Amino acid sequence: MDATLSIDELWVSFANRAGAIDAVSCVSLRIAPSECVGIVGESGSGKTQLFLAAMGLLAANAQVKGRISFEGNELTDSAARNRVRGSRFTMIFQDPLTSLTPHLTIGTQLAEVLVQHLRMPWRDARSSAGRMLERVRVPEPRRRLGQYPHELSGGMRQRVMLAMALLCEPSLVVADEPTTALDVTIQAQIIELLRAVRAEFGMALALISHDLAVVAGLADRILVMYAGRIVEDAPAGDLFRKPRHPYTAELLKCLPSLSGPRFARLPTLAGQPPRPGEKLEACAFAPRCPRAADRCRSERPELKGSSAAQVACHFPLSA
Amino acid sequence: MSRLADDAVRRLRANPAAVLALFVMTGIIVVTVFGAWLNPNNGQALDWLHLAARPSLAKAHWFGTDRLGRDLFVRTLAGTRVSIAIGLVASAISLIVGVGYGAVAGYLGGRTDHLMMRIIEILSGLPLIFFVIFLTVIFGRSETLLFISIGAVGWLTMARIVRGQTMSIRQQEFIAAAIASGASTGRIIFRHVIPNLIGPVVVYATLTVPQIILFESFLSFLGLGIQEPGASLGTLIAEGVGEMEAAPWILLMPGGFLAVLLLCLNIFGDGLRDALDVKEA
Amino acid sequence: MMRYFFTRLAGAIPTLFIIVTLTFFLMRAAPGGPFDEEQALPPEIMANLQNAYGLDQPMWTQYERYLKSLLHGDFGPSFKYKDFTVTELIRLGFPVTLELGAIALALALFAGIPLGVFAALHHNSAADTATMSVAVVGIAIPTFVVLPFLGLLFGVYLHWLPVADWEPGSIRHLALPVIALALPPLAYIARLTRGSMLEILRSHFIRTAFAKGLPLRTVILRHALRPALTPVASYLVPAVASIMTGSLVVESIAGIPGIGRYLVQGAINRDYTLVLGMVIIYSTLLIGMGLAVDLLYAWLDPRVRPAK
């Protein structure tokens, strides 16, 4: 059966006066129907640009190379992308206050999705929108339809964003840092909501985050990105128990844990990721890697492994 | 300071429109100052043989003559000189007033600032021309009145900008250091605040000059500014409108000069503002 | 919402009152009078004239009389146009000026905003540069140069449009004055819209709108346009002021019998009551515009509205 989203050797670069900056370098991935994939990485790792490219939402000065297919159809031009964007292939963003249009009611912003893609009349669309708000557990859904984004709390706004993404019964929802701008308690609620929605709707979910903890409870599989490339790709359980890439191991060490000493200092990763635009013929993580050797500084490691798990490292941690 | 200037010059050079505008402006100024020497005619002399004559090389009436036979080339240049002179002088006055007012308001802050800004708000509300007409009715048409009202054009915006800048400068540490070392308020304003205002002030000065030239021409056009026998571009254009159908060059020459002058000043001012990267108030 | 409007209205009335009072006293306190420039009149006739116009009364009495007559809509007699009262002149001229100004403002908005949106959508292209160049020309070159030049081109050389002889209601006569009057605010509005639109298009909520699969036209018209127009709303009052100023010139050149022309004549002739009346009319118009803009802000951005 076709993968829901299939990306082959994707390169995304931005041209500016100084030259070209590679945001995403040679990334390939597959998301199967109903699969939940977590994409983890620091800011600048290219995780957001990857999916913006897939949806065709990049800025004008972006150059994209590679193949992107959705449900078996290659997305070659804007017509192909327009057919799926917002209906079968949707995305929700990080900060729900700035991501919702301030001068339109919630009802309008929800209904317009149905009117645009399903050609529903406005009145029916608003009713459907109200029902969807119930399904994402927004209290008093009818009242919310007439309200403006600034009248809702952060958690409610994020539910609205999710509702907007679910209205046309998508095959794949991309959630870009859905909890980052929210309080910790609300974060838990949203993650729980995502779990429930996945169970109810059965769509595939791409969950982008810099925080492994967010991804932990939901993902079937996790991709770790560093400096525009995938460095590890493994089933979630395996990744947490036995990470193979040194970067993944360091990330895991940074997670606060409920067991262990009460006042231990939280470990941090030394150094900075490479600046975008720095091109190296070497492993990008080498400067910060505790296991780095000469080979790492002169030869870039390729992704190697089986279809179930891959890692890009010359000296991966033992399985 | 000089790094700011270097940056600005570099960016300005990369702006072809601004550079062109600068050249044309300089050209106009050169012609205005020296052109009269090249032309034997006298702006007041009436040439009975060439009344309202077309532009031609005859008797060096390069721009033609007006209804009274006066050479238009010389008159246009004289008018341009008057307009530019008034523009510069009035700009300088409004600059000094505006910077002073704004610096004091921004530095003192609190209620004084509040009051001073309220005054500016009220004054900005009414279009200046009505104020001028008002004063003209009371005091009659006079050249002093002209200077006062023209000077009133630019200082409001300047004062606002300067106040904003002063307020942010005031927060900075070297001011605290100066106060701690016992410097008086006046001294601080003069020696520390004002030198840091140069950037935005230069830009807005460049934009104020065309505003002032425009306002003076406007008044003169309506008959409320420069009176006969003096002439500025505004009065010449007013004459030209009267002769529009019969002798269009009487309108076209001074009108063209004013249009090009103002256009260049505006384009250069815009370019300068981009180069110095000053935000709109 | 209504309560907000009335609060603002109540605040505007004192302002108007202050303007009227200040204007009145300044004018009366000024040296010279409206009859000074006529040939020296024998003193008895002067005294009679002063009496007839009430100029020999104490200042306060004159002020009271003026205020009373104002409330009746009577601005007093014109000192120069002997057969007319100022009220009559206003009644004759105001609709003309209002028509001219309103059409010019409408033109500035309905041409300027789309032009700005167009330039923003074609950012950094030749079309963008061309549009903005035209805008600079519109802003820099004064109305009293533009109108005669247009008149020369379209009237004298091309004979398409009439240059003088005003006829009420005639579009052909209105065309050039309206265009000349609308040009500076049009250019400014185009620039403002372009800058604001460029910024709005970078917003997160626009990205969301595109992510929902909405077509460009919907995103621009429904999502981007209203927030992008906030600076234009701020500019409306200066735009009206600019049009009012421009109308003085346009009416004088084109021979249009509006209050602008009367105002200029009033200034030259030192016709007190006329100028006073005109200033009051213009001030009221501006203040009214300011109120309307406040209401407009509330509509453009729901966050500004007073909480329900």
The residues on C that touch B, with CB distances below 8 Å, are 23, 26-27, 30-32, 133, 136-137, 139-142, 144-145, 148-149, 151-152, 156, 163, 241-242, 244-245, 248-249, 252-253, 263-264, 266-268, 270-272, 275, 279, 282-283, 286, 290
Q: Strands A204-209, A172-176: parallel, antiparallel or unpaired by DSSP?
A: parallel
If DSSP states are collapsed to H, E and C, what string results for chain B?
CHHHHHHHHHHHHCCHHHHHHHHHHHHHHHHHHHHHHHCCCCCCCCCCCCCCCCCCCHHHCCCCECCCCCEHHHHHHHHHHHHHHHHHHHHHHHHHHHHHHHHHHHHHCHHHHHHHHHHHHHHHHCCHHHHHHHHHHHHCCCHHHHHHHHHHHHHHHHHHHHHHHHHHHHCCHHHHHHHHCCCCHHHHHHHHHHHHHHHHHHHHHHHHHHHHHHHHHHHHHHCCCCCCCCCCHHHHHHHHHHCCCCCCHHHHHHHHHHHHHHHHHHHHHHHHHHHHCCCCC
The answer, for A206 touching chain C at a CB cutoff of 8 Å, is no
The residue among C98, C106, C96, C95 whose CA lies nearest residue C236 is: C106
Q: What average pLDDT does this structure show over B51-76?
A: 76
Q: Which of C123, C200, C204, C299 to mutate to test the interface with A (most CBs of A within 10 A)?
A: C204
Q: Which helix (H) or strand (E) holds A243?
A: none
Per-residue confidence band for C287, with pLDDT thresholds at 50, 70 and 90: confident
B134 touches chain C (CB under 8 A): yes
Name subunits touching A (3+ CB pairs < 8 A). C
Q: Hey, is the C-beta of A112 within 8 angstroms of any chain C C-beta?
A: yes
> Which of B147-151, C14-18, C114-118 has the highest average model confidence (pLDDT)?
C114-118
- Confidence band for C110, pLDDT divided at 50, 70 and 90: very high
The answer, for B281 touching chain C at a CB cutoff of 8 Å, is: no
Neighbours of A270 (CB within 10 A): 9
Q: Which chain A residue has the Cα nearest residue C225?
A: A103
Going from the C-alpha of C305 to that of each of A103, C294, C296, the distances in angstroms are 11, 10, 10
**Residue C102: pLDDT band by 50, 70, 90 thresholds?**
very high
For the cut 80, the answer to whether the pLDDT of residue B38 exceeds it is no
The closest CB to that of A93, out of C204, C213, C222, belongs to C204
CA of B234 vs chain C CAs: smallest distance (Å): 9
Query: Cβ of C227 and A102 within 8 Å?
Result: yes
Beta bridge pairs of residue A29 = A7
Query: By the CB < 8 Å criterion, does B222 face chain C?
Result: yes
pLDDT for A170 equals: 93
Q: To the nearest whole angstrom, how far is the Cα of C160 from the nearest Cα of chain B?
A: 14
pLDDT value, residue C74:
65
Query: Cα–Cα distance between B150 and B129 in angstroms, integer?
Result: 10
With both helix axes pointing from N to C terminus, report the angle between C143-150 and B198-222 in degrees, rounded to the nearest 10: 50
> Does any CB of chain C come closer than 8 Å to the CB of residue A111?
no
How much is the pLDDT for A43?
80
With a cut of 80, say whether residue B194 has pLDDT above it: no
How many inter-chain contacts (A to C, CB under 8 Å) are there? 68
SS3 label, residue A233:
strand
Cβ–Cβ gap C136/B259 under 8 Å: no
Within 8 A of C241 by CB-CB distance, chain B residues are: 126-127
pLDDT at residue C80, rounded to an integer: 60
B70 falls in which pLDDT band (50, 70, 90)? confident
pLDDT-above-90 percentage for chain B: 2
Encode pLDDT of C180-228 as tens digits.
999 999 999 999 999 999 999 999 999 999 999 999 999 999 999 999 9
B221 to C144: CB separation less than 8 angstroms, yes or no: yes
**A188 vs C79, higher pLDDT:** A188
Is residue C91 within 8 angstroms of chain A, CB to CB? Answer: no
**Beta carbons of A284 and A268 less than 8 angstroms apart:** no
Mean pLDDT, chain B, whole residue set = 78
Q: Is the pLDDT of residue B280 over 60?
A: no
**Residue A244 corresponds to which tokens in the numbers above?**
């193979």
B274 pLDDT above the threshold of 80: no
Contact A117 C213 (CB under 8 A): yes
**Chain A residues closer than 8 Å to C214 by CB:** 86, 112, 116
CA distance C174 to chain B (A): 18
B-chain CB neighbours of C31 within 8 Å are: 138-139
Provide the pLDDT for residue C56.
63
Identify the three-state secondary structure at position A49: helix
Count other Cβ atoms within 10 Å, centred on residue A14: 18
Cβ distance of B251 and C152 shorter than 8 Å: yes
Whole-angstrom distance, CA of residue A182 vs CA of residue A94 = 9
Provide the chain A residues 126-155 that lie in CB contact (below 8 A) with chain C: 148, 150
Q: Are A269 and A42 in contact (CB under 8 A)?
A: no
The reply to whether A86 touches chain C by the CB within 8 Å rule is: yes
Interface mutation vs chain A, best among C122, C123, C125, C212, most A CBs within 10 Å = C212
Please judge whether C148 and B139 are an interchain contact, meaning their C-beta atoms are less than 8 angstroms apart: no
Of B201 and C73, more confident: B201
pLDDT at A90: 94
Among partner residues B137, B234, B259, which is closest to C270 by beta-carbon distance?
Answer: B137
Helix (H) or strand (E) holding A222: strand A221-226
Chains near C with 3+ CB pairs less than 8 A apart are A, B
Which of C23, C248, C282 shows the shortest C-beta gap to B222?
Answer: C248
Asked if pLDDT for residue C77 goes beyond 50, the answer is yes
**Residue A84: its chain C contacts at CB < 8 A?**
213
pLDDT at C117 over 80: yes
Dist. CA A136–CA B241, nearest whole Å: 71
**Is B208 a residue whose pLDDT tops 90?**
no
pLDDT given at position B156: 82
C266 and B137 within 8 Å at the Cβ level: the answer is yes
In this complex, is the C-beta atom of A82 within 8 Å of any C-beta atom belonging to chain C? yes
Q: Chain C residue with minimal CA distance to A55?
A: C211
CB-based contact C212 A93, cutoff 8 Å: no
> Is the separation of the CB atoms in B238 and B223 below 8 Å?
yes
* Tokens found for residue B32: 């205005």
Q: Do A and B share at least 3 CB pairs under 8 Å?
A: no
Cβ contact, residue pair B255, C149, below 8 Å:
yes
Q: Which residues of C touch A118 (CB under 8 A)?
A: none
Q: Which of B1-10, B90-99, B135-144 has the lowest mean pLDDT?
A: B1-10
pLDDT averaged over every residue in chain C: 79
- Put simply, the answer to whether C286 touches B126 (Cβ < 8 Å) is yes
**pLDDT exceeds cutoff 50 at B153:** yes
- Tell me: cis bond preceding B229? Omega within 30 of 0 counts: yes
What does A287-300 look like in DSSP terms, one character per residue?
A: GG-TT--HHHHHSP
Q: Which residues of A touch C223 (CB under 8 A)?
A: 101, 104
Is the pLDDT reported for residue C73 higher than 90? no
Across the range C276-293, mean pLDDT stands at 80
Which of A225-229, B11-15, B269-273, C81-85 reaches the highest mean pLDDT?
A225-229
| Chain B CB contacts of C271 below 8 Å | 137
List chain C residues with CB under 8 Å of B234. 144
Q: Which residues of chain C have a CB within 8 Å of the CB of A148? A: 302-303
B139, C264: Cβ pair inside 8 Å?
no
pLDDT at B238 over 80: yes
**Beta-carbon separation of C140 and B140 below 8 A:** no
Query: Which of B15, B83, B134 is the best mutation test for C, with the most CBs of C within 10 A?
Result: B134
Note down pLDDT in tens along chain A; length 319 residues.
678 888 888 888 888 777 788 888 889 999 999 999 999 988 878 889 999 999 989 887 888 889 999 988 888 888 888 888 988 999 999 888 899 999 999 999 999 999 999 999 999 999 999 999 999 999 999 999 999 999 998 889 999 999 999 999 999 999 999 888 788 888 888 888 999 999 999 899 999 998 888 888 889 999 999 888 898 999 988 888 888 888 888 888 877 666 666 666 666 776 777 776 666 778 888 788 888 788 888 888 888 888 788 888 888 887 6
Residue C145 · residue B259 · CB < 8 Å:
yes
Question: In terms of residues, how long is chain C?
Answer: 308
Residues of chain C contacting B270 with CB distance shorter than 8 Å: 136
